[in-house]
Structure 1
Amino acid sequence: MNTPPHIHIGSPRDARLVAAWLLVGCVLVASTLILGGVTRLTGSGLSMVDWEPVGGAVPPFTVEAWEREFAAYQASPEYRLVNRGMSLAEFKRIFRFEYAHRLLGRVIGLVFIVPFAVFLIRRIIPRPLIPRLLLIFALGGAQGLLGWWMVQSGLVDVPRVSPYRLTAHLALAVLVYAITLWTALTLLRPRAGAAEFDSGSGRRLGIGSAVVLGLAALTMLSGGFVAGLDAGLVHNTFPRMGSDWIPPDLFAASPWWLNPFENRTTVQFDHRVLAYLLLAVVTALWWGCARHAPGAALKWAHAGFAAVWMQAVLGVATLLLFVPIPLAVLHQANALVLFTALLGLTFELRRC
């Protein structure tokens, strides 16, 4: 996040108002991420086979409307190859998850654009902040397009969305969340007037925190490939993968460079290795902050330390129990909690 740690805005009250609006957006984006995970885990993501940005906001209410939606789904590969014989009642269940996910995306757009227009008219938003807010809005619109592009990949021949497109969809959502949260923090937490701790220690911790934040993001994207390939359903043992520390089919795909993206064993192995590394470096970062960081940064460090260990427990439990939906959703949600804590820590260390 190579952005200034503070954006000057008219008054403290205006700064808090704009920050509160952005934080509401963060909550909604986080909710969309979690609901997207539920949609995938329940097999609901391909239940809506059309993309209607405006008309699709109105759900089917009548028997005729539901039958039209069901008939469209019955023509899809997922129904023919996976869910043949599904009843209308069963279809309604998966449809509602996907509909809620898409509706929440529309709500986010409204929650952004309406207050943004009001703040512009009232001249609450300073000019230097406008380009960044427009960038957030543009990325949010791109997220909707990317989501439909992802869904389309599962409507052709194979009833499964592309793991590449799924991970790209996840990455863009995390980017929107990160920029929005960082911007809110710049409004709420201006730069300190003087260094609050030794500059050498602060610089090292700040660099370390940024690197760890990047590793957390990479681990989340690795989880996107795990989700896209259902790689959590192979080698459901711990700490070994089956009877081996390094499974023999780790490089079974050809060419070799496809293994980290398309070989389910390799994808799970990579996610495990990244998780081990993240657990170690977050713990080390927490230890360093406990010795040198000021109070606000230390609170974020404590939150990150708790979240990374909770994430490890949830990850192992999810794996051993063959990915039950409640545990898998908690694992995905806590990944965002960990990312938030590390982003907050990185911000606090930069502002000192």
Structure 2
Amino acid sequence: GPRIALLVVLVGLQGAIGWWMVASGLVDRPDVAHERLALHLVTALLLLAALVWTAMDLGALAKGRSKIEGRPKRWVVPFLVALTIQIVLGAFVAGLDAGRIYNTWPDMHGQWTPDDLNELSPIWSNAVDNPVAVQFLHRWFAVVVAAGALAVAMVLFRAGAKRIAIAIEVVVLGQFLLGVLTLLHAVPVGLGIAHQAVGAVLLVVTVVGAHWSMGGARNEPAQG
């Protein structure tokens, strides 16, 4: 059906973007373009989210539901947009090696707004190409995402999805802590991989919560 076609297209697109990203490291530079890295990561996570959603649909069908009957709750789109922005910023941090500078928290070497925060012109380009500004945005937007995730968890908990809510709380707090530790230790490989992996887990549990909120998993066992 259309969904299978979409998944096939996403897989093909992911492969094409992956080659496009790698190609950026074959000319005049040993590393890949961070913008392409971000696009590659977002496409991969979009594919992951689509697979999780499809799996939950199939699970609902197996339990006797014909289809999802609800509409997205008000929190779904804003939170997923915020999470996507944070993921893009994280890819920029990785691509620009921005995690290897200003390795203090919560301040940045004794400053809250470093002197080189807006050194590029035009000013908006700092959010994309200035490692200092990219790290600044990623570290503080993490607070916004964490607060949003806790609010989403509260909504889900009150609606009866207690296990999903607790999972979101645990994952987002773990991710925040991992992010701080990764920064303080200047991105050792193990912590960097863990930080990326838990970010993907946060997306998965958020998609599960969104699916549940739309009525797609109402036949799951009662959650105490």
Q: Is 1:343 equivalent to 2:212 in the alignment? A: no
Range 329-338 or range 137-146, more displaced: 137-146
Shift of 1:192: 9.3
Alignment match of 1:274 (pick from 121, 131, 141): 141
Shift of 1:217: 2.0
Which residue is 1:298 aligned to? Answer: 162
Alignment match of 2:21 (pick from 150, 170, 179): 150
Q: Distance in 1 between matches of 2:165 and 2:64?
A: 19
Shift of 1:220: 1.1
Q: Is the 8 A contact 2:153 2:164 kept in 1?
A: no
Q: Distance in 2 between matches of 1:345 and 1:192?
A: 20
Amino acid at match of 2:79: V
Q: Number of residues paired by the alignment?
A: 211
Which residue is 1:89 aligned to? Answer: none
Q: Any idea what SS the aligned residue of 2:95 has?
A: helix
Shift of 1:287: 2.4
Q: Distance in 1 between matches of 2:58 and 2:77?
A: 20
Q: Is the 8 A contact 2:33 2:95 kept in 1?
A: yes
Structure 1 runs (4+) greater than 6 angstroms displaced: none
**Matches for 1:19-168 after TM superposition, within 5 Å:** 130-168=1-39
Instruction: Report which of the two structures shows the higher radius of gyration computed on alpha carbons.
Output: 1
Amino acid at match of 1:303: A
Q: Distance in 2 between matches of 1:235 and 1:150?
A: 27
Q: Distance in 1 between matches of 2:6 and 2:154?
A: 36
1:279-319 Cα shifts (integer Å, max 9, x gaps): 111112222333x212xx32111111000000011111111
Q: Is 1:228 equivalent to 2:95 in the alignment? A: yes
- Please report the RMSD computed on the Cα atoms of aligned residues, expressed in angstroms: 1.9
Q: Distance in 2 between matches of 1:209 and 1:166?
A: 25
Unaligned runs of 5+ in 1: 1-129, 194-201
Shift of 1:329: 0.6
Which residue is 2:181 aligned to? Answer: 317
Q: Is the 8 A contact 2:22 2:32 kept in 1?
A: yes
Q: Distance in 2 between matches of 1:300 and 1:137?
A: 29
Q: TM-score, normalised by structure 2?
A: 0.88
Which residue is 1:59 aligned to? Answer: none
Unaligned runs of 5+ in 2: 219-224
